[in-house]
Structure 1
């Protein structure tokens, strides 16, 4: 493994525009307490499987994959407080001679008495549904001998009866997570600030809707760099624009690939969202130019195709490119101060969801209010005073107001008397 360089990173809360996006990200990502609970459930699920006759001494590795492996989990599509988490159970022994559907049925049977609300066998995994709206996908895998570490075949079988379409699909989720972490090193200043804000928000009760447990003081903060934060925002944007769509949507693992590929430490948050989006748009345009569907593979396993089930057509990928262009256009207008405050709030709510944008602005209002009560000012690294425009907090300013949030020269009590 290559040695990573240490990066300071930019604090998005220093920038009035990036601040609202950072607050949105805080509102959608897996809370630290649920992150700890997920770890506990991962262990409990493995212990349960190993305690059954079918899986005793048959589990070679048990590990997270997807967003859970790279600390990029956000709320599930169409929701604000449900989370999908993914685990891989690498199996050995007798499972190597079984068919895909038989393995999935065996896994489903092993969870028959597991204490969750519901159990569902999917095409490639078995999903456990918990009462607190967490969903845990357990994907069975068989080691592909002679290949990179943990490269495996996962099951693909729709059921309920065996089909000619049943197969084993090559994948290396473990290797991809390692690749992603290498591409997205820790940005210390950003991570520390987010850790601080997580603890403050949880203690003040702002996230009571999404969790039950208190967060231990020493809980590790999980989002460590701006690329992952931008990835979470793009995933949220995708979830909102496809909220009423019944078909397949752009896969999270594909978006994660582009975040890793476009990663550039010490970049502003809104700039990173634009950068990742433009990278995706460029590849879609290039594929469309030749009448081909977008083809994205795991950088450490070319037979692991991230786009094997999406896009289903050139038109489908072009639709996503149009959505991304609208996202980029809106962000660039905001960065250039070309969007009126009321329009900005409407755009944010339309693209990231009314509830989380409202929660984010309430968090900003609360922090500004606390700073005023404590006779504190919020300063940038260069000594400028961060003044959230009223529209950023409430959306109530008229079009005649200044069109973008600003960083003003530091003056005593600049926003005293402002209505938050």
Structure 2
């Protein structure tokens, strides 16, 4: 049995939609090569903060990943490029009563360095972090001060704009605790996780061959970081969809935060049997939560399960208008996912995938699918090309069994404009 045969046997356990969604996720995430590059940047910044002329030399108590980088859910930011945001925390030996502006400014100075140094032209100061810009990647470094006597890595982070000194503040946070909570609730699926790992590594090998990069690091045979659960892959797809939806229609609005999406996904994980079902279930569950709050005329709220004072919704939604926009977008997302899971032809499937996740990854995933089956069925391949969204038994040797799925919380938002939803007086 050749490698392609093994692939087809494994793919036979999943619907075409499951395979397509997995392949799109492979194309929008950090590849194994990019992941290693991100790790290299991460270690380089940590060492840079401890250099001899750094204002923070000897004061960095800990340095660790947070956000998507910590839970394996990093995705490309835009549809036209492969920009990735890598988030890390720098635990600094500041006093707890340190001025927020001083904390942020000192970290920024330590990273930027002297004029002419390696990061002088690559570093931007943000409200709560400093960003180091690389080709295709941003490293956001957030300073924190550990609060002794609390759960591991609970601390303060800082908010400050030099031009708004009246608005600066210190905030409770424990992104490490949140990441550990998320990981515990979304363990890798043994079979699908292995399948996704193979897809990720194979795609990276193909990219290396096509780019003919002599300096490309060899891709390993196994990489546990890519043995992901369906819930984590669903989160990646949701984040990608959100990025594109807001890029296209709501560029001036703050995006619903990734940590809030991760919170909802982890809360509703482990209740489905396929990737397509998981994605639909997660989207409709979010829609139900947001819609219930909106019906009451309230903004949705959530806090870090490992630190109740770490408010995940402290900057979003700013008002009910923000919430209504996201409900409207989620409703459109849910409708298209329902259509995607129906009996549709391949061209329509591709169009929906392009609308939701971007033209480039969708077309690449569909092209790979057509080539894979076309090559394996030989002269009979044309029978499948634009057909129904199921894998022919003649191609894979067995039929994919239907799976069950738990119903998402009920809602009545399909076809409704959120501003028209009934509100409790």
What TM-score results when the alignment is normalised by the length of structure 1?
Answer: 0.83
From the superposition, tell whether residues 346 and 216 of structure 1 become closer, same or farther in structure 2 (CA, over 3 Å): closer
- Encode CA deviations 1:181-218: one digit per residue, 9 max, x unaligned: 11011212112112222222222227967x97334325
Tell me the equivalent position of 2:385.
390
Deviation at 1:12, TM superposition (A): 8.8
Matches within 5 A, 1:42-121: 42-51=42-51, 52-92=53-93, 94-113=94-113, 115-116=118-119, 118-121=122-125
Aligned partners of 2:304, 2:210: CA distance in 1, in Å? 37
Contact 1:28-1:80 within 8 A present in 2 as well: no
* Alpha-carbon distance in 2 for matches of 1:279, 1:57: 46
Equivalent residues of 1:153, 1:170 under 8 A apart:
yes
> Aligned equivalents of 2:208 and 2:232: distance in 1?
23
SS at match of 2:225: coil
Cα distance change of structure 1 residues 387 and 54 upon mapping to structure 2, 3 Å threshold: farther
For structure 1, which segment, 184-193 or 76-85, has the greater mean C-alpha deviation from structure 2 after superposition?
Answer: 76-85
Q: Who is 2:156 aligned against?
A: 153
Q: Residue 29 of structure 2 aligns with which residue?
A: 29
Following superposition, the deviation at residue 266 of structure 1 comes to 5.9
Asked if 1:306 is matched to 2:312, the reply is yes
Deviation at 1:84, TM superposition (A): 0.4
Cα gap change, 1:128 to 1:369, in 2 (>3 Å):
same
Shift of 1:273: 0.8
Kindly tell me: are residues 28 and 358 of structure 1, through their superposed partners in 2, closer, same or farther at Cα, counting changes over 3 Å?
A: same
Q: How far, CA to CA, are the matches of 1:282 and 1:388 in structure 2?
A: 41
Q: How far did residue 137 of structure 1 move?
A: 0.4
Equivalent residues in 2 for 1:120-199, closer than 5 Å = 120-130=124-134, 132-159=135-162, 161=163, 163-199=165-201
The alignment yields a C-alpha RMSD, in angstroms, of: 2.8
The answer on whether the counterparts of 1:281 and 1:325 sit within 8 Å (CA) in structure 2 is yes
Q: CA deviation at 1:345?
A: 2.5
Q: CA deviation at 1:351?
A: 1.6
> For 1:390, what is the secondary structure of its paired residue?
coil
Cα distance in 2 for residues equivalent to 1:342 and 1:218: 34
Deviations 1:109-165 (A, max 9, x none): 1122452452101000000001x2210000000112322111111010011x46121
Q: Distance in 2 between matches of 1:91 and 1:27?
A: 36
| 1:270 matches 2:292 | no
Tell whether the 8 Å contact from 1:180 to 1:260 is kept in structure 2 after alignment: yes
Which residue is equivalent to 2:219? 216
Q: Take 2:34 and 2:176, find their aligned partners in 1: how far apart are those partners?
A: 22
**TM-score normalized by structure 2?**
0.82
Q: What residue in structure 2 maps to residue 335 of structure 1?
A: 341
- SS of 1:236's partner is helix
Unaligned runs of 5+ in 1: 1-9, 378-385, 392-401, 415-420
> What does residue range 343-362 of structure 1 map to in structure 2 within 5 Å?
343-362=348-367
Contact 1:32–1:215, Cα closer than 8 Å, also in 2: no
Once the two structures are overlaid, the 10-residue window that deviates more, 191-200 or 23-32, is 191-200
Corresponding position of 2:4: none
* Structure 1: distance between partners of 2:396 and 2:107: 64
The total of aligned residue pairs comes to 380
Q: 1:229 aligns with which of 226, 230, 233?
A: 233
Give the SS at the match of 1:129: strand
**Residue by residue, what CA displacement relative to the aligned partner does 1:217-263 show, whole Å, maximum 9, x if unpaired?**
25524241100001111111111111131220111111111110111
- Distance across 1 between alignment mates of 2:123 and 2:319: 32
